[in-house]
Amino acid sequence: MNTNPLTCNTNPGCLRHSVGRLPPRHPAVRNKHSPRQCANTQDNNNALSVLSAIGKDDTVRVYAGAAKALQRDPVHATAIHGESGLDGTELLPPPALSALDTSTPAIDAMASALWACEPGTPWVVATGALTNIAELFAAYPDLKSHVAGVSIMGGSVGGGFTAAVMGCVDDVERIGNYSQWAEFNVLIDPEAAAALLHDPILAPKSTLVPLDLTHLVLATKEVQDLLLQGVKPATTAKATEGLENKGFKAKSTLRQMLVELLMFFAETYRDVFGIIEGPPLHDPLAVAAILTGTKYEIPFYDFDSANPKAPAQRERFEVRVITEGTLEDARDKGTQTGRTIVRLLPPGEEGVRIPRGLNIELFWKTIEECCQKADEANARNAGIV
């Protein structure tokens, strides 16, 4: 069976949605390396703990990536993710320190892993700031033509790009999650995002997964049941009661931990963004997007599949990242630093792929299957089976 090799660039906050670490359990994915952006000891330990939780600490290597953005100071979103970077659960196992590799710089390790793959097969998936990836292709420009593509969770479009609720703060409509106009991963290093999305070789093979898409993929009560209990969920009432007091009976400790982490943001998304059905999931969508063309494909749509009048057409975009200004001005004064502005290209012209929808039911089914594989691996490691 063909698999998609990938190197996954993460940041401390992306592990908040630890379901994002489940795709290494997907049969079509071979995770090679996981470089960490702006990592300190706690950040590294979080990554190592999550790998241990899903039983992949023996096959995935973790490297400490860039300590700061290309041209800016580092940013740690403690107000969002908590002091630990993974507040919301007490079920994380001890970090698997053996998975941390300090023998090679992260960029060199990524390059070696990518060069070891057949040309046109490996993917680079970024679910955090894009500093590591920008530095990778700057140091190894020939990799641009070697990789199959780059899949990025980041950015936001707005303007009704999808039917997603984007949010309103202090009576001001917004399209970003960290500022009025910008999504966090792009905002904290807009120069890195621009280097990738403006690149004539990389742009046509890049997929951008913005907030407009991730805000459609919600951890509803039914989804919570599915993740807690597997394919035969308990009643919604039992699951939601458990989420209030954390006394629910999950199928495994892993599943309980994942749902606790997912629900950590539920109140914020409800009160700030107006998303009441459940919190959205972000990072795994960037991994799911690389399954296109495989037997495990989760359909992503270049159009609004819920609108019968929407034309089913192949869309590609020119993406411009605003790099002028400071993060403080963007956050406090409403400037557009870090905003991703897109322009639909004429039919047939190549550019960045920005899906407007996906098969959400199949996506959650795939996530549950990854949970099941992680449960089975943990049982084997514990000598239960």
In tens, the pLDDT along 204-234 reads: 999 999 999 999 999 999 999 999 999 764 4
Of 71, 78, 64, 61, which is closest to residue 13 (Cα–Cα)?
78
Q: Over pLDDT 90: what percentage of the chain? A: 49
Set out the domains of the chain in order of their start, with CATH numbers: 4-219+273-381 (3.90.245.10)
- The answer to whether the beta carbons of residues 25 and 370 sit under 8 Å apart is yes
pLDDT digits (tens, 9 = 90+) for 128-173: 899 999 999 999 999 999 999 999 999 999 999 999 999 888 788 8
Name the one residue in this structure whose structure tokens are 């590591």: 132
C-alpha distances (whole Å) from 74 to each of 66, 129, 155 are 9, 10, 18
Stretch 73-91: mean pLDDT: 62
- Per-residue pLDDT of 241-283, as tens digits, reads 444 445 557 899 889 988 888 888 788 788 878 899 999 999 9
State the catalytic residues. Answer: 282
The reported pLDDT for the residue numbered 244 is 42
Which residues does 124 contact at the CB level (< 8 Å), separation at least 6?
6, 7, 9, 110, 114, 133, 136, 147, 149, 150, 151
pLDDT at 195: 99
Instruction: Kindly tell me if the per-residue pLDDT of 63 is higher than 70.
Output: yes
Instruction: Read off the pLDDT of residues 305-322 as tens digits, 9 standing for 90 and up.
Output: 666 776 678 899 999 999
Point out the least confidently predicted range of 100-104, 167-171, 380-384.
380-384
Identity of the amino acid at 343: R
- Asked whether the beta carbons of 25 and 56 are under 8 A apart, the reply is yes
